[in-house]
Structure 1
Amino acid sequence: MDIRSYGNYVLYAYGNHSLPSNVADLHHVAAAMGAAMDDLKRPEAYFYEVGNSANLMYGTSGTALDYSQASGVPFSYRLELPDYRYGFLVPPQYVEHINEETWQGIAVTARLGRFYYRARYSAATTAAPAQS
């Protein structure tokens, strides 16, 4: 999880407009994260947008997000925190709320990512016993 500011985005790889092979799983988990944070967002905040980093924002290369995904981390995200229309200088009165909102999203992502990992990725690496 690469947490940055600002913009209300949950993004996944790749920054060159190509999509990882597990894009459906990535998007489902990211959508759950965004929805969990939207449930706690303040009324003046935008809803979280979810998707490929290059398609929602701009093209990049060599980011932590791309490196993690390419290195085999099955669920790698960049979370752009809300700005409440103050940009990078969020007033102190919003910080605690942003922490709570973000933690809720991370918790949902961890639970759902664990489920996907166990169901899809652990099974793929477990070889069936040889028949004699």
Structure 2
Amino acid sequence: MFITGELQYIAEQTINNSSGTYIDSLDQVTVLDFKRNDDYNNYTVAVFADWYINNAWSVGASYFRINIDGEFNSSDIDHSVHYSRNETESSTSVNTRYFWHFSEVFSAKLSIEHYFDNGEYDSATNFGVAINARF
């Protein structure tokens, strides 16, 4: 059994201040100052588990959850926008992998993984084939 986990925190802040001169179809000149501020905190928790049936074959499962908590502010001379975002996204998956060591240098990995997003019916299946060389 091989179990790994991940805890991650990201604080992201983006500030954008710009100004521009705009000329419309009637040749009227408008000067605009634009300000935008994004401030987000992202919290991630993930757990991965693999059970090795033998040295070549494993089956596993994973759980991933992210919480996004943030503020968005935008303004120019005519408009101002503010909204908050607080949402949680999660997904689970099951997988199986087979490692075939067919020479002293080369090995192959075959994998199938199925994802379930937010516990709903949205899902995806990924197939993978890889050849690795170790010198």
TM-score (structure 1 length as normaliser): 0.20
Q: For the pair shown, which has the larger CA radius of gyration, 1 or 2? A: 2
* Higher share of residues assigned helix: 1
* Higher share of residues assigned strand: 2
The answer to which structure, 1 or 2, has the higher relative contact order (CA under 8 A, 6+ apart) is 1
